[in-house]
A and B are shown apart, each in its own frame.
Chain A
Amino acid sequence: MITVLLLMTTGMILGWLFHKRKKLIKLSSELTNWAIYLLLFLLGLSVGTNEKILNNFHQIGFQAISITVFAVSGSILMSWLTYILFFKKDER
């Protein structure tokens, strides 16, 4: 956990220092995409060989969508409150 945060912070500092080196930054954003592709491929691979996940896929899917419904409802209600209290009065 600490390693992840340290690496990310180091990256942020380096990115800020070298933000004018366009080619370098472009390369790093290309590599970011490929690292994400690789990791999702590996996640797919281990899920594909994991009987426990495959057999419970419908349950996992249901849990996932339930979390989203609650998360979206909560954030919409919260932002509705924020909108009424702070934003609406400035509109004409």
Chain B
Amino acid sequence: MKGSLIILSFFAGGLLIGMYKILPAQFLETDYSMYALYFLMFLVGIGIGSNKKSLEIIKTFNFKIALVPLSVIVGTYIGVSVFAFIQNELSFIDSIAVGSGFGYYSLSSVLISELSSETLGVIALLSNISREIITLLFTPLFARYFGKLAPISSGGATSMDTTLPIITKYIGSDYAIISVFSGVVLTILIPFLITVIL
């Protein structure tokens, strides 16, 4: 939660400085962000490759446990396709790209704003933050009416860290490993899915 607030305050800080034109205009003309993104993706790769915890968790892989992140991906894409079908402001590809954030709002928003547009980046930021908030608020409800995997799938990538405590509280600690597994798999897949889609 503390991490989320820090991340949001950087976005809000930039927003305010931009709105009140505190920085000189020529600073904004050069776009350094693509290079920062390249650097970030390299670092994210190092993080994934060096993370022993995620390597160990991937070893718990079996057919049944793999169905969980798969259900999250397929279910999200079906839901977002319905959204894309009933409205005509956002294209199918754009909607699917936003959905592919699976709650990982920091990475998905910067990646989408570079690969597509800033508008879509902001949509990805708000959409994926609300995925985390919805999970934090409705986990008790989801667990009660839609089975023990429901909070995990609602959490998406966040089910490995920020929403893990509340999830395990309502579905039991024997499902914690499944929750972490699903979150880790989605976290690794997100940058690949977004880049390939856009």
Contact = CB atoms under 8 A, between A and B. Distances in A.
Interface of A: 1, 3-5, 7-19, 25, 28-29, 31-32, 35-50, 52-54, 56, 59-61, 63-84, 86-88
Given A43-B118, A44-B15, A49 B49 contact: no
A45 B23 contact: yes
B45 to A, nearest CB: 2
Given A40-B106, A44-B10, A70-B83, 4 more contacts: A36-B40, A41-B13, A79-B149, A83-B147
Nearest to A73: B79
A37 B130 CA distance: 19
Contacts of B83: 66-67, 70-71
A62 to B, nearest CB: 10
29 contacts: A4-B41, A11-B42, A14-B45, A15-B49, A18-B46, A19-B52, A35-B40, A39-B40, A40-B14, A40-B106, A43-B33, A43-B110, A44-B17, A45-B15, A45-B23, A49-B19, A49-B28, A63-B127, A64-B124, A64-B130, A67-B90, A68-B130, A70-B79, A70-B99, A74-B76, A78-B72, A79-B68, A80-B149, A84-B147
B1 interface: no
Contacts of A7: 38, 41-42, 45
Q: Top 8 A-B pairs ranked by shortest CB distance?
A: A48-B18, A11-B45, A74-B79, A44-B14, A15-B49, A78-B75, A75-B75, A64-B126
